[in-house]
């Protein structure tokens, strides 16, 4: 008899769960990239049925017993880490009563569905009625999780996306950003206001944009044997590590938004495609956290993608496809892709003003979940913070203010900080790679990214969830998360 039979039972169960997750991921991708509208109800029901099954399998009493018994079994390092991640998944799922899971899913789905029409209609009254229900249930969830973890309600939600992170630590990190970013932003805007740039002139046919995107993906090492590029209204990276599905959206009049969307999602995709093959199907092989995931997409899009060297490398491919034009002169093209322009919409924001959007949301959602403010307080706070950060008023403009994001509609409180944590991780990682690879800038200019990607593979991708976020970053960069690198990056690029 094996001396780790409880652990073996667990790996079989988690392999089974990952197979169901495979079907869920592909059907989910299909829903956004392929499915005709008439399939919506049946697809929703099918995915919900599978979700219930997955929850039942994961929270089965036997799983709890195996987890307990496996603690005293003879496991090697990776197995112990896998057990830790299994336990984390089990506890997160088993904590909540099934009635709350179901009520939250229903309220979230209702709020999200209505939001799709309420947002364009600027209908805050209608939206806030649904959102109140979502917030009520998310607070219940947060309270239950907080009691088990011994932390604040918001920290308990944060932990789902970003294990290791607390709002105390976030407050310190963001306080630091707040101390220098507004000033830096102002100086960049002033500087750029003195430059005159030429905008690219379309139309840029969709089929040609797609070819360009595919070429960029190839250049960035995307494995087409294990993934695809398609179209969806909201770009995302989905699928499974063996078959990663990224999407973008095209606008005939706008060349760069689809292209950099593809570069961004390719960063997510390469992380997924290079997770540890020998552990696929087990929790230890999953991507570490949402912030580390965002760090990879921002590494590709911002650190690498909008660097001078990479932009120069892209230009010939663009000119070959769309012909030469004044906007495609080296200097203009680089400056155009490094424009900084504070605006209302987070997903359209440049990397200098992006943190303002995130910190604003973080402060509001934390206060909301901890019960310090109510849903009705959101528009006023939003307006106040947008004025303070970016000098923009959102009074009465809910559509481009507090109704612009999908995250809160289904209760995804705790996700937003990942974006700015990701940006900071990305800057720190890029600097570490540059230190480790003295030839890096020259290689990038020649379109040779192999050393850079090998570095990412060795330091991030191949580890999956083996280490905590802090361990991962310390091993890769020699120190804990430090916003200094993000500041240096912005200063160097923009001032």
Annotated binding residues for Zn(2+), written as ranges, equal 264, 268, 294
Instruction: Report residue 68 as tokens.
Output: 């307990």
Least distance in angstroms from the C-beta of 38 to a copy of itself:
4
For a copy of itself, the binding residue among 1, 3, 41, 76 (CB under 8 A) is 41
Residue 278 lies near a copy of itself (rule: CB under 8 A): no
Q: How far apart are CA 424 and CA 160, in angstroms?
A: 20
For a copy of itself, the binding residue among 1, 2, 3, 37 (CB under 8 A) is 37
CA-closest candidate to residue 360, choices 383, 343, 341: 383
For a copy of itself, the binding residue among 153, 213, 221, 227 (CB under 8 A) is 227
Residue 233 lies near a copy of itself (rule: CB under 8 A): no
Least distance in angstroms from the C-beta of 262 to a copy of itself:
17
Q: Which residue number, 50 or 334, has a Cβ lying nearer to a copy of itself?
A: 50
Cite the annotated binding site by residue number.
Answer: 264, 268, 294
Q: How far apart are CA 305 and CA 298, in angstroms?
A: 9
Q: How far is CA 259 from the centre of its chain?
A: 18
Residues sharing a CB contact under 8 Å with residue 462, sequence separation 6 or more, in sequence order: 274, 275, 276
* Paired residues of 227 in beta bridges: 244
What is the β-pairing status of strands 243-248 and 227-231? parallel
Least distance in angstroms from the C-beta of 63 to a copy of itself:
17
Q: Which of the stretches 220-228, 306-314, 426-434, 463-471 binds a copy of itself when contact is defined by CB under 8 A?
A: 220-228
For a copy of itself, the binding residue among 102, 242, 251, 405 (CB under 8 A) is 242
For a copy of itself, the binding residue among 55, 84, 210, 228 (CB under 8 A) is 228
In the window 416-435, what residues touch a copy of itself (CB under 8 A)? none
* Paired residues of 237 in beta bridges: 246
Residue 105 lies near a copy of itself (rule: CB under 8 A): no
Q: What is the 3-state secondary structure (H, E, C) of 293-334?
A: HHHHHHHHHHHHHCCHHHHHHHHHHHHHHHCCCHHHCHHHHH
Least distance in angstroms from the C-beta of 226 to a copy of itself:
4
Are the CB atoms for 460 and 476 separated by under 8 Å? yes
Least distance in angstroms from the C-beta of 236 to a copy of itself:
16
Are the CB atoms for 177 and 359 separated by under 8 Å? yes
In the window 3-22, what residues touch a copy of itself (CB under 8 A)? 16, 19-20, 22
Residue 284 lies near a copy of itself (rule: CB under 8 A): no
Active site residue 265: yes
Q: Which of the stretches 210-218, 226-234, 335-343, 437-445 binds a copy of itself when contact is defined by CB under 8 A?
A: 226-234
Least distance in angstroms from the C-beta of 18 to a copy of itself:
8
For a copy of itself, the binding residue among 9, 32, 47, 208 (CB under 8 A) is 47
Q: Which of the stretches 39-47, 291-299, 406-414, 449-457 binds a copy of itself when contact is defined by CB under 8 A?
A: 39-47
From the candidates 112, 265, 363, 365, which is the catalytic residue?
Answer: 265
Residue 102 lies near a copy of itself (rule: CB under 8 A): no
Residue 240 lies near a copy of itself (rule: CB under 8 A): yes
Can you state the angle between helices 77-94 and 5-33, rounded to 10 degrees? 60
For a copy of itself, the binding residue among 5, 8, 39, 324 (CB under 8 A) is 39
> Which active-site residues does the annotation give?
265
Residues that bind a copy of itself (CB under 8 A): 16, 19-20, 22-24, 26-27, 30, 34-39, 41-43, 45-47, 49-50, 53, 223-228, 239-240, 242-243, 280
């Amino acid at each position: 008899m094996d001396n780790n039979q409880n652990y073996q039972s667990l790996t079989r169960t988690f392999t089974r769960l990952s197979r169901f997750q495979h079907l869920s991921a592909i059907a989910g991708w299909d829903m956004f990239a392929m499915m005709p509208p008439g399939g919506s109800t049946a697809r929703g029901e099918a995915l919900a049925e599978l979700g219930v099954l997955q929850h039942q399998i994961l929270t089965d009493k036997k799983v709890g017993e195996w987890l307990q018994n496996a603690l005293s079994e003879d496991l090697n390092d990776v197995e112990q880490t896998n057990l830790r991640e299994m336990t984390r998944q089990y506890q997160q799922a088993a904590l909540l009563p099934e009635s709350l899971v179901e009520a939250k899913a229903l309220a979230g789905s209702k709020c999200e569905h209505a939001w799709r029409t309420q947002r364009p209609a600027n209908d805050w009254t209608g939206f806030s009625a649904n959102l109140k229900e979502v917030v009520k249930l998310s607070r219940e969830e947060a309270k239950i999780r907080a009691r088990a973890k011994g932390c604040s309600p918001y920290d308990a939600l944060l932990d789902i996306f970003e294990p290791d992170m607390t709002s105390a630590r976030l407050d310190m990190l963001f306080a630091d950003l707040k101390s220098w970013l507004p000033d830096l932003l102002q100086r960049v805007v002033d500087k750029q206001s003195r430059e005159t740039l030429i905008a690219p002139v379309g139309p840029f046919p969709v089929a040609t944009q797609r070819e360009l995107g595919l070429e960029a993906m190839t250049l960035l090492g995307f494995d087409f044997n294990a993934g695809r590029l398609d179209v969806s209204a909201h770009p995302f990276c989905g699928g499974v590590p063996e078959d990663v599905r990224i999407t973008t959206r095209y606008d005939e009049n706008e060349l760069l938004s689809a292209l950099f969307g593809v570069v961004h999602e390719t960063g997510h995709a390469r992380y997924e495609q290079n997770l540890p093959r020998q552990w696929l199907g087990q929790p230890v092989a999953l991507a570490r956290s949402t912030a580390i995931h965002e760090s990879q997409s921002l590494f590709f899009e911002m650190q690498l993608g909008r660097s001078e060297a990479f932009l120069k490398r892209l230009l010939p491919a663009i000119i070959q496809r769309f012909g030469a034009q004044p906007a495609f002169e080296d200097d203009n093209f680089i400056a155009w892709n490094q424009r900084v322009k504070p605006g209302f919409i987070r997903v359209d924001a440049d990397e200098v003003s992006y943190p303002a959007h995130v910190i604003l949301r973080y402060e509001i959602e934390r206060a909301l979940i901890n019960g310090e403010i109510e849903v009705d307080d959101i528009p006023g706070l939003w307006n106040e913070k947008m004025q303070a950060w970016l000098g923009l008023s959102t009074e009465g403009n809910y559509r481009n203010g507090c109704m612009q994001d999908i995250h809160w509609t289904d209760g995804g409180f705790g996700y937003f900080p990942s974006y700015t944590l990701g940006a900071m991780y990305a800057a720190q990682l890029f600097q570490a790679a540059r230190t480790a690879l003295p030839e890096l800038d020259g290689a990038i200019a020649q379109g040779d990214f192999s050393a850079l990607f090998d570095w990412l593979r060795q330091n991030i991708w191949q580890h999956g969830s083996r280490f905590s976020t802090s361990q991962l970053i310390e091993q890769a960069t020699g120190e804990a998360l430090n916003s200094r690198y993000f500041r240096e990056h912005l200063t160097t690029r923009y001032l």
